[in-house]
Amino acid sequence: MGLLKGKKGIITGVVNEFSYAYHILQSFLSEGAEVGLSYLPAKAVERRVKRIGEELNIPFLVPMDASSEESIRSGFEIVEKDFGDLDFFIHSIAFANIEDLKGRFLDTSQAGFQQALNVSTFSLVSMTKYASQLMRDGGSILSLSYLGGEKVVPNYNVMGVAKAALEASVRYLAYDLGEQKIRVNTISAGPQKTLAASVVGDIDMMIEYSSKVSPLKRNVEGSEVGKTALYLASDLSSGVTGEVIHVDCGYSIMGAPPSDFASKIS
């Protein structure tokens, strides 16, 4: 049958097989969705996305630069012309300068702050504006966040501020679009060594710590994020909007490590 059979939409941020966006893509395809991919118009990224499109038989690819309102607008014009109306849109885009992801948040440059917020947060607002115009019968918009938007994660720095703004934006967008039967949510996923996460200082230590402290005593798997996204894009979550759904094996509920934590660190 397929939870998304007859539904179609765009997924952003698919750059390799390790990204959460890729796991969401696989989950959606397995449940019958028709999916198009948007990608940053850079040669290296385009090659990767085209290869994935060929491997998974995804014919519709559209360039879209998250830092450019004009690129976003023209990208959605192509979507409307060549792909059609949308039932879902997945925003999996974030960027900050490497130098702003180490040391002190206090030392973030104004240019670095503005770039991180523009690409990681405002792009959701801008893309949602255009995607929602193609959701004539309602739909689901989903973004990806991380616990660093709620609590201090050393070295996450300006990206944590961007994620906090992203989560607030989700709530306001959910309010704005509710009357159009469009739901807006975000998944706060646990750490994995994706291409994006690899630039965050001490990411390996963060992953190990999470696996020892989380109630499930392991790290989240990409497929689990994919399944949660499937739920949020499908009619199973018809009454859910404006939410931050944590998919992190319970790590986010912990206020302190377990009493035997020291013995669990290798």
Cite the active site residues.
146, 156
The pairing of strands 139-145 and 88-91 is parallel
Task: Specify the amino acid at residue 168.
Answer: A
Which tokens go with 6? 């007859």
Which tokens go with 179? 């009357």
Which tokens go with 256? 């302190």
Q: Rg of the Cα trace of the chain? A: 18
Name the residue with tokens 């689990």: 224
DSSP 157-175: HHHHHHHHHHHHHHHHHHH
Count CB atoms within 10 A of the CB of residue 53.
18
With left for phi above 0 and alpha for psi between -120 and 50, is residue 224 left, alpha or beta? alpha
The Cα–Cα gap between 166 and 249 comes to: 22
At residue 189, what are phi and psi to the nearest 5 degrees?
-95, 150
Task: Specify the amino acid at residue 4.
Answer: L
Q: What residues are paired with 35 via a beta bridge?
A: 9
Count CB atoms within 10 A of the CB of residue 152.
10
Is 6 buried (19+), middle (13-18) or exposed (0-12) by CB count in 10 A? exposed
